[in-house]
A and B are shown apart, each in its own frame.
Chain A
């Protein structure tokens, strides 16, 4: 890992214009220092965080690996604050040798108070790099702030798991989708499962079985029912199922979907043993008697398949766990992409939420 070097500017009771000017000067100074320094220009990211928890957020952002936003603007909120204080850092990955390139990434931390909330747009707007996509993340809620900043951003990063009620989470994400692209970490936690299901049902004879599914059971972290609902929503939207609300019964959500040929039993079970957010396991059965079960395990997803004749096979689909830091990094990366299946899956999930 190359050593990093930082150029830092800070000021109290400052203004957005002064911060922006300082950033420009820092960049010019770094370029003059070494022509191999080049500012990264992939993505702006605005993080609105409660100051009391800003350290935790900083740690999470440090863990995203190579998926750092090129300019990160942290709006650190402390209700009683009266003045804007700011600290800008232009960090390089290392000192480039002749002919080499070293990326510069900019981080601006702006301390703001309640009195600034009505003017947030005018504080953040001068700080984003023009013509770059801007991603907004508000990990501590503050939906009103998200709405205030929406005109400035093209994508919003959220984690539906953070919402206590799945219904609220889905409503929030659907509302945001009307104005911006939404990257939901709860959805990204289902990616390996979706990829593996797509693979398992890719052979021609298996594709035909997709439309004969009779039951889907999903085991999930107790807080991650929303991920399970999104996965059901994805299957429903891809396979043309009609959905009805699930019913809660002793920690299990059950319900029924209507496929082209038959109904599909749906079951979502909380798994208290699961340590991390996301899914723990998945089981599908078809009308022919085929059963496919995938379980989270060391080194990848463990698969178990029983065919219509009762023959059983078990194997591991290799893949390293991304961890929560990896999921957040993936969320930042996804802001630059577009997944056309998320919105239909979200809409379908809205139909099963109890």
Chain B
């Protein structure tokens, strides 16, 4: 008969804000890339500055570029100085860089992984204990399966007496078939519990706050259903163009870049049922239920529920700006959308019949990410509408950026002798009510991955459920020749977006 030894709780962790993280060696594939320079390295420095990194921590950069370890360290230092949210402490920075190594080579080269294994074993030997290993795939997506397979082939997917985890950046596939194939490749090598698929929106405090807002306040949940809610609009608008990202963006587009992942996650946070508890599996189970309740359109249905467009020339920030097709690096005659809008329905008891409108675009009037929940109008307005200034149904707006907050639009009487009503806003701004600043999403996500907490990462079935919704749209659009409708840069987006609205609905002004 076997006995299971109960591991005692650590009595020293109670009350601490920073929980222990096991000693870890982190390997970044794509270590010289833009994400590593702008986000990952500064995040690691800030964690070190705050004393939040594991007590034993090593970093290995892997990239195709041939260079010496000292040159790579110098690049790390330069990136941290340029992009860290705080000025580096010289001693901490030096301490961090001391534990940085570099392995050059192509990702399909077996010798790279042999060298990597040697470096990681060396860390273990030097430390005198088996360190956890985390492999961060910050490369172009076509290398994800190549790296994962090579890690497995070299036996780097497991380690005796230590945890091994793989962190995979977006995009997780560019279609349902690709995502499913990538899942198969990854899960051929790793267990799902070892896999951490990044959707950096989930690392944002603002997104996590949505769950607190819904489930820590009793006043909203009774209204949070088809009986009281008329429609929900989720907007992710940017005022900038594609900048220097044409190489990526022109093969991606607004649907893949924002809607398939980030915006569907926002939808899940709005529409999910309260989980039994906030463990990773319970939260993700509830999100998957929402995604599975969304009807995936047929090819014939796509034009009725999805709209795409490209920005044309216009004005932004007081300057003339080029249209998408004139941007450097964009393919001639490209039919990649810079604006996408969808109307989705969540076919379950709570949400049946409530349209969820999603729109994302570049070069729109301003930068804003928000969720607007419009309640149904009151059944009978006892006041004469005459003279009232646009009485509207109540609207609850959760703003994620730039000013995180919640506003509730109410009807209120204009001071005076007559009962004239106009909408007013009751506003709450997160920035006014907390002393602490939100940490960068990547700081939180890197820590959670090293700690083995998958709550803020996307599960395999979640990714595939997201693609099941978007894949028919991608396919239908790919089969439809251009040119795409154009909208003026700096505008509210294309007028065609109105075509998917249910009668009586309108888009909120951006």
Contact = CB atoms under 8 A, between A and B. Distances in A.
Nearest to B367: A99
A341 B16 CA distance: 9
Contact of A313 (B12, B127, B434): B127
Interface residues of A, number: 54
B435 A66 contact: yes
B96 interface: yes
Interface string B362-386: 0000111000000000000000000
A275 to B, nearest CB: 15
A43 B51 contact: no
A193 B7 CA distance: 24
B432 to A, nearest CB: 5
Contacts of A38: 429, 431-432
Interface in A166-214: 191-192, 194-204, 207-208, 210
B437 interface: yes
A207 B8 contact: yes
A258 interface: no
Contact of B91 (A68, A200, A299, A336): A299
Contacts of B10: 198, 201-202, 207
B15 A342 contact: yes
B429 A315 contact: no
B20 A70 contact: no
A319 B92 contact: yes
B55 A41 contact: no
Interface bracket on B: 35 or more
Contact of B12 (A39, A192, A201, A315): A201
B416 interface: no
A100 B89 CA distance: 30
A41 B435 contact: no
B128 A317 contact: no
Contacts of A320: 49-51, 89, 91-92
Nearest to A70: B432
Contacts, number: 129
Name which of B12, B22, B54, B429 has the most chain A CB atoms within 10 A of its CB. Answer: B12
Interface string B114-155: 000000000000011000000000000000000000000000
Interface in B55-78: 55-57
A317 B55 contact: yes
B127 to A, nearest CB: 7
Contacts of B474: none
Contacts of A69: 435
Contacts of A66: 435-437
Nearest to A36: B403
Nearest to A43: B435
A238 B14 contact: yes
Contact of B432 (A41, A203, A313, A339): A41
Nearest to A206: B10
Contacts of B436: 66-67, 333
Given A66-B435, A68-B435, A207-B10, A315 B48 contact: no
A210 B15 contact: no
Nearest to A316: B95
B11 A238 contact: yes
A273 interface: no
Contacts of A318: 48-49, 51, 53, 57, 92, 95-96
Contact of A340 (B15, B21, B54, B92): B15
A321 B464 CA distance: 45
Contacts of A203: 22
Contact of A202 (B22, B50, B53, B127): B22
Given A99-B402, A299-B94, A316-B95, A341 B53 contact: no
A315 B56 CA distance: 8
Contacts of A194: 12, 16
B505 interface: no
A42 B12 contact: no
B417 interface: no
Given A340-B14, A341-B14, 7 more contacts: A99-B367, A101-B429, A192-B51, A203-B22, A207-B10, A313-B128, A315-B127
Which 6 pairs of residues, A with B, have the shortest CB-CB distance?
Answer: A319-B51, A299-B91, A341-B15, A198-B12, A202-B20, A320-B89
Interface of A: 38-43, 66-70, 99-101, 103, 191-192, 194-204, 207-208, 210, 238-239, 298-300, 303, 311, 313, 315-321, 332-333, 336-337, 339-342
23 contacts: A38-B429, A38-B432, A40-B433, A41-B432, A42-B433, A42-B434, A68-B435, A69-B435, A70-B432, A100-B403, A196-B51, A202-B20, A204-B8, A207-B10, A299-B94, A299-B95, A311-B128, A316-B95, A318-B57, A319-B50, A319-B51, A337-B17, A340-B15
